[in-house]
Amino acid sequence: MAEVAKYMRCSSPNREGSEAVAQAATEAVMGMLQKLRVHCKYGAVLEKWTQAVFDSLECESRAEFVEKLTQLIQIGECVRVMVDDKELSLGEMPELLKKNLCDGRFVAGDP
C-alpha cells in the first residue's frame, strides 16, 4: 500500500501510470457490473414468467408443475390420436373431448 501511495503523490513521475492502471481496473469492474445487472434483470424476468406459468397451472412446486405438464402432453397426444382415428368436424370435438378426457386420460375404444 505504501508503494501505491508513493506513486500517487502529485510530484511522482509514475503517478500517471498508476492512475492509468486504476482507471483500466475501474472500467473493467464497471463493465462486469453492467453485465451482472443485465443477467439479474434477465433472471428476474425469467422468474416472473415461471411464476406466471406456475400460477396458470395452479402449481405450488416444480414437481407439481412437471406432473401437470406431463398430463398436458399426454392429453395432447390423446387428442392427436382421436383426430387421427376419426373423421371429426370441429363441432364434434368438444363433446368428444368431454366424453374421453373428463377424467384426465383418453379412454380407448370410445366413440
> According to the per-residue pLDDT averaged within each range, which of 7-16, 54-63, 93-102 is highest?
54-63
Domain assignment of residue 77, yes or no: yes
Domain assignment of residue 45, yes or no: no
Q: What is the DSSP letter of 27?
A: H
Domain assignment of residue 8, yes or no: no
Domain assignment of residue 95, yes or no: yes
Q: How far is CA 90 from CA 33, 73, 83, 101, in A?
A: 55, 21, 10, 16
Domain assignment of residue 54, yes or no: no
Q: What are phi and psi for residue 61, nearest 5 degrees?
A: -145, 170
Residue position matching grid coordinates 434483470 = 41
Whole domain around residue 109: which residue ranges? 60-111
Domain assignment of residue 88, yes or no: yes
Domain assignment of residue 66, yes or no: yes
If one counts the domains in the chain, the total is 1
Q: What is the pTM assigned to this prediction?
A: 0.49
Domain assignment of residue 83, yes or no: yes
- The pLDDT tens digits for 93-106 are 777 777 776 655 54
